[in-house]
Amino acid sequence: MARLDKLYIGTNTKMYKTGAQTAAFLDRLGQNTADLAREALELFVIPSFTSLETAARHAAAAGISLGAQNMGWEDEGPFTGEISPLMLKEVGVKVVEIGHSERRHGLGETDEQENLKTRCALRHGFTPLLCVGETGDQKEAGISDEILRIQLKIGLRGVTAEQAGGLWIAYEPVWAIGASGVPASREYAEERHQAIRRVLVELFGEDAGGAAPILYGGSVNRQNAPELIAMPAVDGLFIGRAAWDADNFNRIIRDVVPLWKGK
């Protein structure tokens, strides 16, 4: 299986932080992490749409990759309220987050829509960050791996092995996300990451299927970040609340970077 030689760590700021607040956050995070070599660290921030243009300048100066929280799958057209790949390209976005649980479960997005977005993102040269994860009910019913398999097989339908190396996957169990969430245990996260990897290998073969990083997200904090990243199948962390203060995010990054030996 291909070795992943970078630690992936980033945050989605959801519907928090204005453009000015995002710029200040990126500046502070950049200063905090300036001494950390980016060859072995993929640090990314996914702010609100209205922040992106300002954020692009501040992120580039800070060695931080910029992402968008969503994307429409057509280049242009009568799609009121949607943001097209051309618009995201214009402002310097690299990563496109697709299928976050708040969009799937709060706004009714489907696996078929995530697939259209993923393929569109790849076509335009973005890095799709496809989020998958089971609900609490699905976990209790013992069908977590089946749900992940469906989300991946439909979400990645039509993606070629050649394109698959450009994918990032986030495993974000719905029951673990947000203020009412309970973080997954490291053992549980490891099992699901292994299940996701098996599907990627089935779809794309050992090399391409082994090359896409799988990040864990859902109530990651300073206490659990080191034990999660120490798990063999956890390639990175995708953090919400605990990363929105740049100093706290920096502490988490510094705790986990030394644990990273490459995988």
- From the list 102, 172, 190, 193, the catalytic residue is 172
* Cβ-based neighbour number of residue 153 at 10 Å: 14
Active-site annotation holds for 100: yes
Report the C-alpha dihedral over residues 170, 76, 124, 103, rounded to 10 degrees: 0
- 117 vs 208 by CB, closer to ligand 13P: 117
- 67 vs 209 by CB, closer to ligand 13P: 67
Phi first, then psi: give them for residue 198, nearest 5 degrees: -60, -40
* Binding-site ranges for ligand 13P (CB under 6 A): 12, 100, 172, 177-178, 181, 217-220, 238-242
With tokens 């954020």, the residue in question is 55
- 44 vs 204 by CB, closer to ligand 13P: 44
Provide the token pair at 39: 């060859």
Task: Name the minimum Å distance from CB 10 to ligand 13P.
Answer: 9
Task: Name the minimum Å distance from CB 76 to ligand 13P.
Answer: 28
- From the list 100, 102, 134, 190, the catalytic residue is 100
Task: Name the minimum Å distance from CB 165 to ligand 13P.
Answer: 23
Active-site annotation holds for 58: no
Mind giving me the DSSP string for 45-111? EE--GGGHHHHHHHHHHHT-EEEES---SSSSSS-TT---HHHHHHTT--EEEE--HHHHHHH---H
Task: Name the minimum Å distance from CB 45 to ligand 13P.
Answer: 12
- 204 vs 249 by CB, closer to ligand 13P: 249
- Nearest-angstrom CA–CA distance, 155 and 114: 5
Instruction: State the catalytic residues.
Output: 100, 172
